[in-house]
């Protein structure tokens, strides 16, 4: 039994003694206990501890004495009144659901890579020590020593800062959507007043309360360099340029973090990067549709900060072809196999629900998620068909197939086979709400309205969880797109409140992202002396956000960052056709699509050895580190005065920080050794030094530190 199982079991026992274990949790408890003698023993000890505490009110009462008196008295007369033996027992404690069964053990060692040069080996030692959580040491054993507990900080009440500026729905900067407006009603944001406390204060209060409750001391505030790199990767999809890093690190301004945040959120890259992230979720990385048009559509929406509800409505109700209506590409990509993938993707990506399991059987944990629900949802797409046309391109004369979504008034349902092999028909509906069966009723429009109804709906919930995960490394649930009664939530009150406020704000994406980026949790360092046992989502605990979790760079972030580190100036990462093509062909090495019922995408981009080798030996990195072609490296070697300065600039360009003193010393020593060695083979020192620096640059680009957002 490892420590994750131990934690999971204890949390199930907690749920049991609180009297609110669900059936599936109960089944899980049985499974764990039956699998292992140690688990059985732990279960018995856990539940009996609860019994001991309940028996004599946590040491306050002494029931034995009471009994004895009672029995003594009774033994001389009538048989005792047995009812009095049962002192009222506390009936319920409640579940904390601290852990879940997903042992997401990350093979942390995989960040380490095999390196081929001497410089790299030494750097390896340098950067690995930097990585406290990446070492795959033994599991931390139970370390609770009651007397040694760190006293939590005084439970300071967070004072809500004055009256926050409330942006009423009507006041939103109105930019006319460039999108076709005839593709469905736009749900007006409900006119709900935003409660008093600012979003940031709300987040901070709830997160802190949880730290205190768990006796966890959060990590220190991140160093400027660490934070700057993180916020650029999260909002612009790339590391900061050397100029941006220098300006920020040397700035004395009090609110320099806020300034950077404003610059990034108002810049062109934020909407472009967010659209890239969402198009990957919506159609994957190798779609057969016009992904540029989809990204263009999303980018315009994000740039104008249009409500997310509007985007969802457009995506679900889109008609026409994918070239002229970018939003149509989402459903066009998934309309194969009777729109089963369209159903599954809409549920999973837009609603955070793993409905596809119930395509063939009832959800294992939630009785109401049955086959009928899946097929009712699916029936919403059965008024729509794909029309194909052959078009001849005016300029090139090439023939192209163009596919369009066309609505056809009709009353068809969805047919499916039950587990018993009985054919059944399902009529359109969403979560128990039926959509009228009439040719005049546009089912997809009805569906969009139902999805967005209520002040705490699944669309908002799924989006909040996604953005939270995007910025903080984990969602409120262990799996970001698997919400529901079966999935434990780390901060239920906060999650609900954020969802309500997101709806109340008119699905204001910018406001949500800003608040999360301003929160205390986002400012924390990823480095801690030791990982708290209670906050280790990689080992299956729910996240408590007491440090910044490490996020591996996505292929796009990696690609952009290598380019930025190359020092090339004036790059338009998101709009230059050449770069987009280059990126696509680079990324395609790692991805392939299965056109199945779930249109799953397979990736080899997982930080594994093949990927590391592709990176190390691939053209991308080679071009950047090659002495003849590398612009930046050349300029560093020519223009910087001293060795120290050269090393500092290379470190800043790649890792967005200056080297530490010991790091600097080791590198200098290494470089000197290398030059001496090469001199013995009559290589001129100047050339040998340049080779050494090139090695260093290459090593930094391939380091664990570079490939992770921390």
Partner 1 sequence: MASPLSQEFVREFTRTQRPLYLFILAQVGDAIRAEEILQDTNVVLLSKHQQFREGTNFLAWARQVATFEVLQSRQRQRRDKLRFSEEFVTAVANDAAEESDLAELRRKALQECLQALKADDRELIQRRYQPGSSGKELAEDLGRPANSVYQSLSRIRRSLLDCVERRVAQDTV
Residue placing its CB nearer to partner 1 in the complex, 96 or 117: 96
When asked if residue 88 is in the footprint of partner 1 (CB under 8 A), the reply is: yes
When asked if residue 582 is in the footprint of partner 1 (CB under 8 A), the reply is: no
Q: Considering only residues 161, 215, 364, 684, which one is a binding residue for partner 1 as defined by CB under 8 A? A: 215
Neighbours of 697 (CB within 10 A): 29
Q: In the complex, what is the shortest distance from the CB of residue 207 to partner 1, in angstroms, rounded to a whole number?
A: 11
Q: Considering only residues 17, 265, 282, 283, which one is a binding residue for partner 1 as defined by CB under 8 A? A: 17
How far is the CA of 407 from the CAs of 102, 181, 315, 444, 660, in angstroms? Answer: 42, 16, 14, 9, 63
254's enclosing H/E stretch is none
Residue placing its CB nearer to partner 1 in the complex, 151 or 432: 151
**CB under 8 A: which stretch of 139-147, 357-365, 394-402, 453-461 binds partner 1?**
139-147
Instruction: Quote the CA–CA distance of 446 and 437 in Å, as a whole number.
Output: 11
How far is the CA of 553 from the CAs of 371, 410, 559, in angstroms? Answer: 37, 46, 9
Supply the angle between the helices 661-680 and 118-129 in degrees, to the nearest 10. Answer: 170
* Cβ-based neighbours of 152, under 8 Å, separated by 6 or more: 211, 212, 215, 217
**CB under 8 A: which stretch of 29-37, 356-364, 508-516, 627-635 binds partner 1?**
29-37
Residue placing its CB nearer to partner 1 in the complex, 344 or 544: 544
Q: In the complex, what is the shortest distance from the CB of residue 572 to partner 1, in angstroms, rounded to a whole number?
A: 46
Q: Considering only residues 1, 22, 24, 40, which one is a binding residue for partner 1 as defined by CB under 8 A? A: 40
Instruction: Quote the CA–CA distance of 460 and 445 in Å, as a whole number.
Output: 18
40-47 LR contacts (CB < 8 Å, sep 24+) = 42/1, 42/6, 42/9, 42/10, 43/9, 43/13, 46/9, 46/10, 46/13, 47/13, 47/16, 47/17
Supply the angle between the helices 458-472 and 509-518 in degrees, to the nearest 10. Answer: 40
Instruction: Quote the CA–CA distance of 313 and 509 in Å, as a whole number.
Output: 15
Residue placing its CB nearer to partner 1 in the complex, 447 or 534: 534
Q: Considering only residues 2, 57, 412, 617, which one is a binding residue for partner 1 as defined by CB under 8 A? A: 57
Cβ(210)–Cβ(491) below 8 Å: yes
3-state secondary structure 416-481: EECCCCCEEEECCEECCEECCCCCCCCHHHHHHHHHCCCCCCHHHHHHHHHHHHHHHCCCCCCCCC
Interface residues for partner 1 in 668-707 (CB under 8 A)?
none
Q: Considering only residues 168, 213, 386, 687, which one is a binding residue for partner 1 as defined by CB under 8 A? A: 213
Tell me the backbone φ, ψ of residue 321, rounded to 5 degrees. Answer: -90, 160
Cβ(322)–Cβ(332) below 8 Å: yes
**CB under 8 A: which stretch of 66-74, 132-140, 188-196, 425-433 binds partner 1?**
66-74
Residue placing its CB nearer to partner 1 in the complex, 63 or 221: 63
When asked if residue 9 is in the footprint of partner 1 (CB under 8 A), the reply is: no
Interface residues for partner 1 in 498-557 (CB under 8 A)?
534
Interface residues for partner 1 in 92-131 (CB under 8 A)?
92-96, 98
Tell me the backbone φ, ψ of residue 340, rounded to 5 degrees. Answer: -65, -45
Alpha carbon 269 to its chain's center: 20
Cβ(345)–Cβ(602) below 8 Å: no
When asked if residue 50 is in the footprint of partner 1 (CB under 8 A), the reply is: yes
Instruction: Quote the CA–CA distance of 430 and 593 in Å, as a whole number.
Output: 29
Residue placing its CB nearer to partner 1 in the complex, 249 or 489: 489
Residue placing its CB nearer to partner 1 in the complex, 18 or 456: 18
Interface residues for partner 1 in 470-499 (CB under 8 A)?
491-493
When asked if residue 24 is in the footprint of partner 1 (CB under 8 A), the reply is: no
When asked if residue 140 is in the footprint of partner 1 (CB under 8 A), the reply is: no
Residue placing its CB nearer to partner 1 in the complex, 40 or 247: 40
Residue placing its CB nearer to partner 1 in the complex, 95 or 309: 95
Task: State both tokens at 490.
Answer: 């780390």
When asked if residue 220 is in the footprint of partner 1 (CB under 8 A), the reply is: no
Buried b (16+ CB within 10 A) or exposed e, 591-607: bebeeebbbeeebebeb
Cβ(638)–Cβ(567) below 8 Å: no
Residue placing its CB nearer to partner 1 in the complex, 145 or 422: 145
Task: State both tokens at 701.
Answer: 């680009």
Closest listed residue to residue 157, CA positions, set 194, 195, 193, 197: 197
Q: In the complex, what is the shortest distance from the CB of residue 56 to partner 1, in angstroms, rounded to a whole number?
A: 8
State the number of binding residues for partner 1 (CB under 8 A): 77
When asked if residue 90 is in the footprint of partner 1 (CB under 8 A), the reply is: yes
Q: In the complex, what is the shortest distance from the CB of residue 50 to partner 1, in angstroms, rounded to a whole number?
A: 7
When asked if residue 364 is in the footprint of partner 1 (CB under 8 A), the reply is: no
Task: State both tokens at 318.
Answer: 């889109």
Interface residues for partner 1 in 383-422 (CB under 8 A)?
none
* Cβ-based neighbours of 255, under 8 Å, separated by 6 or more: none
Interface residues for partner 1 in 68-87 (CB under 8 A)?
68, 71-72, 74-76, 78-80, 82-83, 85-87
Q: Considering only residues 1, 104, 118, 209, which one is a binding residue for partner 1 as defined by CB under 8 A? A: 209
Instruction: Quote the CA–CA distance of 550 and 543 in Å, as a whole number.
Output: 12
**CB under 8 A: which stretch of 17-25, 104-112, 226-234, 405-413 binds partner 1?**
17-25
Q: Considering only residues 1, 24, 53, 323, which one is a binding residue for partner 1 as defined by CB under 8 A? A: 53
The torsion defined by the Cα of 418, 423, 425 and 430, in degrees rounded to 10, comes to 10
Interface residues for partner 1 in 326-355 (CB under 8 A)?
none
Interface residues for partner 1 in 145-184 (CB under 8 A)?
145-147, 149, 151
Residue placing its CB nearer to partner 1 in the complex, 364 or 684: 364
Residue placing its CB nearer to partner 1 in the complex, 71 or 125: 71
When asked if residue 204 is in the footprint of partner 1 (CB under 8 A), the reply is: no
Q: In the complex, what is the shortest distance from the CB of residue 469 to partner 1, in angstroms, rounded to a whole number?
A: 20
Q: In the complex, what is the shortest distance from the CB of residue 360 to partner 1, in angstroms, rounded to a whole number?
A: 25
Half-sphere exposure of 537 (CA within 13 A, CB side): 23
When asked if residue 45 is in the footprint of partner 1 (CB under 8 A), the reply is: yes
């Amino acid at each position: 039994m490892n420590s994750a199982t131990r934690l999971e079991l204890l949390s199930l026992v907690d749920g049991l003694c609180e009297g609110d274990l669900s059936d599936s949790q109960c089944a899980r408890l049985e499974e764990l206990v039956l699998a292992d003698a140690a688990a059985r023993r732990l279960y018995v000890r856990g539940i009996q501890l609860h019994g001991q505490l309940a028996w004599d009110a946590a040491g306050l009462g002494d029931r034995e004495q009471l009994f004895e008196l009672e029995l003594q008295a009774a033994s001389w007369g009538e048989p005792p009144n047995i009812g009095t033996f049962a002192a009222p027992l506390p009936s319920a404690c409640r579940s904390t659901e601290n852990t879940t069964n997903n042992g997401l053990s990350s093979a942390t060692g995989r960040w380490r890579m095999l390196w081929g040069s001497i410089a790299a080996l030494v750097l390896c030692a340098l950067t690995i020590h930097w990585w406290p959580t990446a070492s795959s040491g033994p599991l931390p054993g139970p370390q609770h020593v009651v007397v040694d507990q760190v006293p939590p900080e005084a439970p300071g009440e967070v004072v809500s800062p004055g009256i926050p500026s409330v942006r009423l729905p009507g006041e939103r900067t109105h930019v006319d959507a460039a999108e076709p407006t005839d593709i469905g009603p736009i749900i007006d944001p409900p006119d709900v007043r935003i409660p008093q406390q600012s979003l940031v204060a709300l987040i901070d209060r709830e997160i802190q309360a949880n730290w205190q409750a768990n006796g966890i001391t959060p990590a220190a505030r991140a160093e400027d360099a660490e934070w700057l790199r993180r916020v650029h990767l999260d909002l612009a999809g790339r590391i900061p340029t050397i100029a941006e890093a220098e300006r920020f690190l040397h700035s004395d301004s009090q609110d320099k973090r806020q300034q950077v945040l404003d610059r990034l959120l108002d810049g062109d890259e934020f909407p472009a990067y967010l659209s890239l992230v969402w198009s990957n979720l919506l159609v994957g990385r190798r779609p057969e549709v016009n992904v540029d048009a989809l990204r263009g559509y999303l980018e315009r929406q994000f740039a104008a900060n249009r409500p997310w509800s509007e985007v969802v409505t457009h995506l679900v109700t889109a008609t026409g072809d994918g070239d002229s209506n970018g939003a149509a590409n989402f459903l066009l990509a998934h309309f194969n196999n009777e729109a089963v993938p369209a159903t599954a993707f809409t549920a999973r990506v837009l609603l955070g629900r793993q409905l596809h399991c119930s395509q063939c059987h009832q959800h294992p944990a939630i009785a109401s998620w049955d086959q009928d629900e899946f097929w009712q949802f699916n029936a919403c797409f059965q008024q729509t068909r794909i029309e194909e046309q052959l078009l001849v391109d005016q300029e090139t004369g090439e023939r192209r197939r163009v596919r369009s979504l066309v609505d056809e008034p009709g009353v068809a349902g969805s047919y499916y086979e039950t587990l018993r092999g009985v054919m059944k028909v399902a009529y359109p509906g969403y979560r128990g709400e039926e959509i009228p069966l009439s040719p005049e009723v546009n089912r997809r429009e009805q569906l969009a309205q139902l999805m967005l109804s209520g002040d705490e709906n699944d669309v908002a919930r799924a989006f909040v969880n996604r953005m939270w995960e995007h910025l903080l490394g984990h969602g409120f649930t262990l799996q970001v797109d698997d919400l529901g009664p079966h999935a434990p939530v780390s901060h239920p009150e906060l999650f609900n409140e954020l969802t309500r406020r997101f709806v109340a704000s008119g699905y204001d994406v910018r406001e949500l992202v800003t608040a999360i980026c301003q929160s205390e949790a986002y400012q924390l360092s990823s480095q801690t002396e030791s990982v708290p046992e209670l906050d280790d989502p990689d080992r299956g605990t729910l996240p408590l956000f007491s440090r910044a979790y490490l996020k591996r760079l996505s292929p796009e972030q990696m690609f952009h960052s290598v380019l930025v580190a190359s020092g090339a100036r004036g790059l338009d990462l998101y709009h230059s056709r050449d770069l987009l093509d280059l990126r696509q062909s680079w990324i395609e090495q790692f991805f392939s699509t299965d056109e199945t019922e779930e249109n799953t995408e397979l990736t080899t981009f997982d930080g594994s050895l093949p990927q590391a080798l592709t990176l190390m030996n691939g053209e991308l990195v080679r071009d950047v580190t090659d002495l003849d072609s590398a612009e930046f490296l050349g300029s560093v070697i020519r223009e910087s005065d001293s060795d120290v300065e050269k090393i500092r600039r290379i470190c800043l360009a790649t890792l967005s920080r200056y080297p530490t003193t010991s790091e600097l010393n080791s590198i200098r020593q290494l470089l000197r050794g290398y030059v001496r060695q090469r001199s013995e083979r009559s290589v001129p020192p100047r050339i040998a030094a340049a080779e050494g620096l090139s090695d260093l640059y290459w090593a930094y680009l391939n380091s664990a530190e570079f490939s992770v957002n921390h």
